Amino acid sequence: MNCYFLESTAFIRLFVQEPGTDVLVRLMESIEDNRKLIAASTPLEVYAAIRRRERSGGLSPENAAAALEILRIESARMVQEPLNPAVLEAARQALDRTTLRWPDALQLGAAIVARDMFQGTQIIFVSTSAAVLEAAKADGFTTLDPVHDPEPQPA
């Protein structure tokens, strides 16, 4: 059984139309909610991104409000990896071995802890960030980029 860990650059595509949105929506519609994983910080990160786009004029207030409502609903349906000491330590270790920024390392740390928790389940790491995907592959994850390669890529 596969589970999908959606890093924030992928997760936002469920609420704002961007390249890869259609691929990601089809994928999410095809799997059960209990097989969709996100870091507990991801909804806040995506919320902030939607608000930034609204303020810059990239999203109308109506579209931003609709995206935020869908974000609230979808976030509640997914399994959220809490930001606990294990996640923070995994993120710190990721910072030691990669050039990731701390929010990206936090995402990877949450995925690593989730993988340890769901032993025997393949966690597919979904992102649109080349740097984060590269780090996830180096940590042994099968990855999926809904923009450039919508089929999972083994580590």
**pLDDT one-digit tens code per residue, 138-152:** 999 999 999 998 777
Angle among Cα 65, 17, 72 to the nearest 5 degrees reads 40
Q: Which fold has domain 2-147?
A: Rossmann fold (3.40.50)
Q: What is the pLDDT of residues 42-64, one digit of tens each?
A: 999 999 999 999 999 999 999 99
The Cα 101–Cα 78 span in angstroms is 25
> What is the biggest distance separating any 2 CA atoms in the chain, rounded to whole angstroms?
45
Domain parsing of the chain, residue ranges: 2-147
pLDDT attached to residue 154: 74
Q: What is the SS3 string spanning 23-75? A: HHHHHHHHCCHHHEEEECCHHHHHHHHHHHHHHHCCCCHHHHHHHHHHHHHHH
Q: What is the pLDDT confidence band of residue 125, given thresholds at 50, 70 and 90?
A: very high
pLDDT in tens, 18-50: 999 999 999 999 999 999 999 999 999 999 999
Task: Provide long-range contacts, Cβ within 8 A and 24+ apart, for 92-96.
Answer: 94/135, 94/139
Counting residues of the chain whose pLDDT is more than 90, the rounded percentage is 93
Burial 50-74 (b: 16+ CB within 10 A, else e): beebbeeeebeeebbeebbeebeeb
